[in-house]
Structure 1
Amino acid sequence: MAGPSEPLLLSHHIDSDDSNVDHKTRPEALTFDNIVEQSLSDFGFWQLFQVFLVGLSYFFDAQQVFITVYTDAYPTWHCVNHTICDHSTSDICKLPRSAWEWDGGSTDKTVISDFGLECSSSLLRGMPTSAFYIGGVVGGFALALVPDGFLGRKKLIFLSTFATSVTAISVIFSTNVWIYTALKFVNGFSKSQTFSYAMVLISERLSTKWRPRATMIPFTLFVLGFMSLSGIAYLAQHSSWRFLYLYTAVPALIYCIFLHLFALESPRWLHIQGNDEEAIKVLKSMSSRDNKPYLESLVSHQLPLEQESVEEQPRYSIKDFFFQKWAFRRIVVVMIIMFGLGMSYYGVPLAARDIDVNLYLSETLNAVVELPSFVITPILLERFNRRSSVLVNTLLGGASGVFCFVSSVLGKSGLAFAFELATFFCARIGFNLMAVYMVEMFPTCVRNSALMMFRQALVVGGACCPLIASIGRDLPSVSFAVFGVAMSGFGLFVLILPETKGSSLCDTMEEQENRDQTIKTSHC
């Protein structure tokens, strides 16, 4: 069987009277990339179904990412003994416990009231959320050591989503902040690569033509998950914070069953594993009716696979980035950019609690403003090059963060909130752009590992946010300036990256390097 960088079918002369095959699509030497591009050239119902099915993992991923905005929030309180207590001027930490109580009378409304953290340091209050992100970092590096061909794309996304759901349920058994922090770390570890696994599986089952638009579907589902969390939290606002974990994790477990039964494996991954027969079957099940004769013709004119010799294909993992200078430089630059975007994307919703607006309204609006980004991102990807789009977007987002800080200092809460939304919106667009850009910059053999590192940098940026946002309670909205400067400053590194607009996906490191050299030479 041909290797992944070689033509899959060499000099297969299909009869000239074969009316089912378009002669323009039958080059003398046909690569697997040609087959994928041709068979998936029409975005039909089954492709949409597969993108939606795998993309639903983003829906539940978003709920776990942002759930601490509600479960770890500082609850409201009121005075009981008005002779010594005045809500507008009294410091809760200097009052006897009998002089005040939490609104609603519940002591387990949030983690802070349940574990008595109202007078604890910002570091301790933000520790569980930071542990979640640190767990994501540790899990990402640990899983990145696994060879890229291990298990397959479908099994990895299933296991990741299942483990995240189980660990989220385990969180409800916490009895103190230390156990809660430890379980949040495990939860973060479990979901560390949900994004990467799902994005790779979706991208490798799309043609170049449809990739910019179709990859926005899972991102849209992520936002809908964020929005649904706001609704669930509002309905459960008088219940214990533990129920919020239960309401989000149980549906995710049910989803895992459908994912296991109906999701298809990546044809590109099957190809580099030497299983072209199964890869063609996947393509046939996803292709439109007009393209099925094309695939039937390939099968009917190909030699039986069992008669061909299968060569051992090398296994790639994260260590391969250190042996290729171009790959190492590229992954480092991408991680720097994503670190800045991660600080803004995860940090701004946390810091929004310090602006004088309703928490449920502010988080819902943060989710709503993401929706237009999925219309704008494909337009940017199709009309402009990758580098310019990322650069302009990060500069605008950084400026919005600084203006948010200035508006807050001047006491203009409404204007500050508007700039907060703009900062979050730009962070979301930057994330979308970089996700598609990243897929195009690395070949199939290491794409999973590359997206793991992409996600790692994003999560490391997120891990810094709870502490920065907590400090913002003492220095109003200074966190927005920090997030904005980080987004703009690190965004400048995109100028080092190559342009990939219009490029098809490569399968091997050698193929990627050769294509990049060809593009560089042609530009010179």
Structure 2
Amino acid sequence: MSRPSTTTPLLSGQTESPQSETPATAPASSLDELIERCIGDFGWAQFLQASLISLSRAFDAQQTFVSVFTNADPTWHCTSPSLCNSAADLCQLPRNSWTWDMPMDTSIVSDWSLECASSFIRGLPASSFFLGSLAGGFILPTLADSTSLGRKNMLLLSCLLMSLASLFAAASTNIWMYSVLRIVCGFGRASVGTCALVLSTELVGKRRRGQVGVLTFLFYSFGYLSLPFIAYLNKGSSWRSIYLWTSIPAIIYCLLFHFLVRESPRWLFLQGRKEEFIATLNSIGNRKSLTVGNLFEIDAIEQESSDTDIYSAIKILFKKGWAIGRLFTVMVVGFGICIVYYGMSLGNGSLGSDLYLNVTLNALSELLAALATFFLIRRLSRKGSVLGFSIVSGVCSCMLMITPISNISGSSNNNKDHIHYTESGWISTSWLQIGIKILSFFSSSMAIHVLHIYALELFPTCVRNSATAMVREAFILAGVISPMLVAAGRENEVLLYGVFALAIVFCGSFVTFLPETKGSSICDTMDEEEHRVMATKTSKNLVC
């Protein structure tokens, strides 16, 4: 049963009608309106809640990219000129003829003597993290839509598992133990992004959901940006110290989160937990107190998630043809974009410059993309933005095919796996290529940020967390594949950037098959969304 329509936009730049224009005695026509009458548009209590929730994304980013430093290939130099040639293959040299430039425990490669191990063994820890995320994405996030845990508890447990696995990883004694703990870490973080995004946006009014959603991206960017600084402060120290610096603050955060963050009022209402629904709204509200009597203002909201099966939300989602089509399309688009996003992030070694500088530049462009999305999301069309940024990123990748970065003069090879660069020779010849790479990464970041918000708007409340979790599975699958592409691209960068360009442009073009959601409000049940799908065939402006 659908509810009367409202003209209030969800994430558009339209102006919301003043609350005072609605008579105090007029009944609320939707759950959105009832919630907003109590909590208002956006207050300090909501800002604090959204910030605390979004902070989990900073720790998520740290664990996603920490392997860039802990698993880095260390540099080396000859100690016996008569036995050692810096241009030779390291594995063909006598072990007593060369030594590492830094202490052996600065990287797992030197700490566990993996310099001559197969590419599978050396890439195992990084792949393990994303494989764990892939597995966790199928199991954990749907619990947030079920009656057992909800958004808050699922986010707390995920963040805690991720943090503890990271802490224990610092005590690893070999690559096999380390890889298993990275799987556990990835498994735990699988639902952090989804739960943080959904929970934070369901605590605010309609007009601010887009900007609050982007707040999670901002914290993710700050977490990414913090990594090169943490790594630099620990330069020359054991790789284990980086894990300590990132895991211990995350565990402290989990304790604060447990006591300070509230559950989603939307989820509480749909689960029939009316007393908790009222208490939550009154605790963060800045307009009026809500009582049990106010709940009768809404005649009927179908609670489609009443099944206690943890996969009931997924079952509901797959019963509708339009929902399957949307889900598949968004997953294809996200996969193509993330091939470039993760490829550019995890392939920093292809730039002829310092590793700390590479990661910092990428993190800054990620932060700039998040800020741009934060200020522009209410004005950006969803389809046009995702398609446009995908094309820009693809064009930049094509430009990198013409002049691959590693072929730029000013670098000298120690061997094909260990490269030493001159202190400043690369600067005068490669800034243009570096700028193109950063622009490609920036565009892919913008596309993925908008796509996150877009996915939220495409699915109703009862399945939103599970649907966005499935979309993130496509993102993570791209994270599994991208390191393999980067490894292969060391031999043929023209092919690497060609694949990047083809993936993001081809997959990004699928967004044209999705409906535009800018200016529309969200639905709570599948029936409401299906009613809108059918109605839009005759009326483009119908909303829930």
TM-score (norm 1): 0.90
Q: CA deviation at 1:70?
A: 0.5
Among 430, 440, 445, the alignment partner of 1:428 is: 445
The answer to whether the Cα contact below 8 Å between 2:144 and 2:150 also exists between their aligned partners in 1 is no
The equivalent residue for 2:219 is 221
The equivalent residue for 1:77 is 76
Matched, 1:63 2:62: yes
Matched, 1:110 2:127: no
Matched, 1:408 2:404: yes
> CA separation of 1:25/1:376 partners in 2, compared to 1, >3 Å: closer, same or farther?
farther
Amino acid at match of 1:496: F
The answer to whether the Cα contact below 8 Å between 1:337 and 1:491 also exists between their aligned partners in 2 is yes
1:372 is paired with a residue whose SS is: helix
Among 181, 193, 196, the alignment partner of 2:194 is: 196
The equivalent residue for 2:423 is none
> CA separation of 1:422/1:330 partners in 2, compared to 1, >3 Å: closer, same or farther?
same
Question: Take 1:381 and 1:24, find their aligned partners in 2: how far apart are those partners?
Answer: 31
Question: Take 2:502 and 2:40, find their aligned partners in 1: how far apart are those partners?
Answer: 41
Matched, 1:134 2:151: no
> CA separation of 1:6/1:274 partners in 2, compared to 1, >3 Å: closer, same or farther?
farther
Q: CA deviation at 1:25?
A: 6.0
Question: Take 1:303 and 1:387, find their aligned partners in 2: how far apart are those partners?
Answer: 38
CA deviation profile, 1:137-161 (whole Å, cap 9, x unmatched): 1111122564722311110100000
The answer to whether the Cα contact below 8 Å between 1:351 and 1:479 also exists between their aligned partners in 2 is no
Q: CA deviation at 1:60?
A: 0.5
Q: CA deviation at 1:299?
A: 5.2
The equivalent residue for 1:124 is 121
> CA separation of 1:215/1:311 partners in 2, compared to 1, >3 Å: closer, same or farther?
closer
> CA separation of 1:313/1:402 partners in 2, compared to 1, >3 Å: closer, same or farther?
closer
2:404 is paired with a residue whose SS is: helix
The answer to whether the Cα contact below 8 Å between 2:145 and 2:151 also exists between their aligned partners in 1 is no
Which region of structure 1 is more displaced relative to structure 2, 46-55 or 117-126?
Answer: 117-126
1:499 is paired with a residue whose SS is: coil
Which region of structure 1 is more displaced relative to structure 2, 109-118 or 265-274?
Answer: 109-118
The answer to whether the Cα contact below 8 Å between 1:216 and 1:374 also exists between their aligned partners in 2 is yes
TM-score (norm 2): 0.86
Which region of structure 1 is more displaced relative to structure 2, 175-184 or 51-60?
Answer: 175-184
Matched, 1:314 2:326: no
The equivalent residue for 1:502 is 519
Question: Take 1:426 and 1:523, find their aligned partners in 2: how far apart are those partners?
Answer: 30
The equivalent residue for 1:275 is 273
Among 201, 208, 211, the alignment partner of 1:210 is: 208
The equivalent residue for 1:374 is 370
Q: CA deviation at 1:21?
A: 7.3
Matched, 1:42 2:41: yes
The answer to whether the Cα contact below 8 Å between 2:45 and 2:285 also exists between their aligned partners in 1 is yes
Question: Take 1:432 and 1:464, find their aligned partners in 2: how far apart are those partners?
Answer: 20
Q: CA deviation at 1:37?
A: 3.4
The answer to whether the Cα contact below 8 Å between 1:5 and 1:507 also exists between their aligned partners in 2 is no
The answer to whether the Cα contact below 8 Å between 1:123 and 1:470 also exists between their aligned partners in 2 is no
1:210 is paired with a residue whose SS is: helix
CA deviation profile, 1:348-396 (whole Å, cap 9, x unmatched): 1221212101110110111111222123224543223210111011110
Which region of structure 1 is more displaced relative to structure 2, 339-348 or 261-270?
Answer: 339-348
Q: Identity rate of aligned residues, in percent?
A: 38
Among 344, 349, 361, the alignment partner of 2:340 is: 344
Matched, 1:386 2:382: yes
Question: Take 1:145 and 1:48, find their aligned partners in 2: how far apart are those partners?
Answer: 26
Count of aligned pairs: 500
The answer to whether the Cα contact below 8 Å between 2:28 and 2:297 also exists between their aligned partners in 1 is no
What is the correspondence of 1:254-269 to structure 2 with a 5 Å cutoff? 254-269=252-267
Matched, 1:143 2:140: yes
Q: Which runs of 5+ in 1 are unaligned?
A: 8-19
The equivalent residue for 2:13 is none
The answer to whether the Cα contact below 8 Å between 1:355 and 1:477 also exists between their aligned partners in 2 is no
Question: Take 2:495 and 2:431, find their aligned partners in 1: how far apart are those partners?
Answer: 16
The equivalent residue for 1:333 is 329
Q: Which runs of 5+ in 2 are unaligned?
A: 5-18, 409-428
